[in-house]
Amino acid sequence: MTRLLRNLGVLALERLASLGRASIIWAQSVWGLPRAGDLSLLIRQIYNIGVLSLIIIVLSGFSIGAVIALQFYTQLSRFGAEDAVGLGLALVLLRELGPVVTALLFAGRAGSAVTAEISLMKSTEQLSSMEMMGVDPLHRIVAPRLWAGLICMPILATIFNVVAIYGGMVVAVEWLGSDAGSFWSGMQDAVELWEDVGKGMIKSVIFALVVTWIAVFQGYDSEPTAEGIGLATTRTVVLSSVVVLALDFLLTLGMYGDFK
């Protein structure tokens, strides 16, 4: 029993120390920008993190939009309410699925790549050599990736939403024959700029902050071995996914008020 308590204590202290290190790294990195000459580093990371994630975001967005429209149409048509497919699709995407699925895809594509890159740089002493040259790797390596993630994720979520709505439209209107006017006007009537689009974007910014923070910290704090890199990359994806889903629940509770 004593051993169990001691082990739990050690684990809790380790997690706390890890959170402390992560906070210091985040604060020192964010403090580092913007500086003259950093723009090119930022643009390069926006390309690596954002532009290279476009394909997976577009393909997934289209598929998810199409599937949701299919399910909505099947269920709603039983009550003769197939005109509501557009508004249902838009609300689900803008409020929940857009930010959440984009964050999950982002963690799998860009987050894991960032972790692997930073931990490989650590294991090959590139970060150490940078430090010894008087260049702070937190400013040079970590900060551009953090900022690029923060900039890219809301844009990717917006693209995801647009493509998903298009995918839903293709299924509901073009394929299943739902009325195009009802599809778009239902959406226009129900969607509010702040309540749906704005709050969805806020979620996306918060997820961006969390996922990129986890990704850079896992890379920076990894064991400099082959196994360490693998573990760090896995931890980024698993931890990001769990935290994003848990945070989404809390944010929805906080943003959309009284559910009872």
Partner 1 sequence: MTDETFIEINDLHFSRGARKIFDGVSMRIPKGRITAIMGPSGTGKTTLLRIIGGQVKPDAGEVIVDGQDVCRMSRDELFEMRKHIGMLFQSSALFTDLSVYENVAFPLRVHTRLPEDTIRDLVLMKLNAVGLRGARDLQPSELSGGMARRVALARAIALDPGLLMYDEPFTGQDPIAMGVLVTLIKNLNVALQTTALVVSHDIHETTSIADKLYVIADGQVIAEGSPEALRSDNSARVMQFMHGSPDGPVPFHYPADDLLYDVLGESAA
Query: Which positions lie near partner 1, rule CB under 8 A?
Result: 124-126, 128-129, 131-136, 140
Provide the minimum distance between the beta carbon of 32 and partner 1 in the complex, in angstroms, as a whole number: 12
SS3 37: coil
With respect to partner 1, which residue has the nearer C-beta, 7 or 128? 128
Question: Cβ atoms within 10 A of the Cβ of 198, count?
Answer: 13
Q: To which residue do tokens 């964050």 refer?
A: 103
With respect to partner 1, which residue has the nearer C-beta, 103 or 116? 116
* SS3 labels along 178-241: CCHHHHHHHHHHHCCHHHHHHHHHHHHHHHHHHHHHHHHHHHHCCCCCHHHHHHHHHHHHHHHH
Question: Cα separations (Å) of 89 from 68, 70, 76, 192?
Answer: 7, 10, 12, 14
Provide the minimum distance between the beta carbon of 125 and partner 1 in the complex, in angstroms, as a whole number: 4
With respect to partner 1, which residue has the nearer C-beta, 126 or 185? 126
Provide the minimum distance between the beta carbon of 95 and partner 1 in the complex, in angstroms, as a whole number: 40
With respect to partner 1, which residue has the nearer C-beta, 131 or 195? 131
DSSP codes, 70-114: HHHHHHHGGGT-GGGHHHHHHHHIIIIIHHHHHHHHHIIIIIHHH
With respect to partner 1, which residue has the nearer C-beta, 108 or 224? 224
Provide the minimum distance between the beta carbon of 235 and partner 1 in the complex, in angstroms, as a whole number: 23
Provide the minimum distance between the beta carbon of 149 and partner 1 in the complex, in angstroms, as a whole number: 19
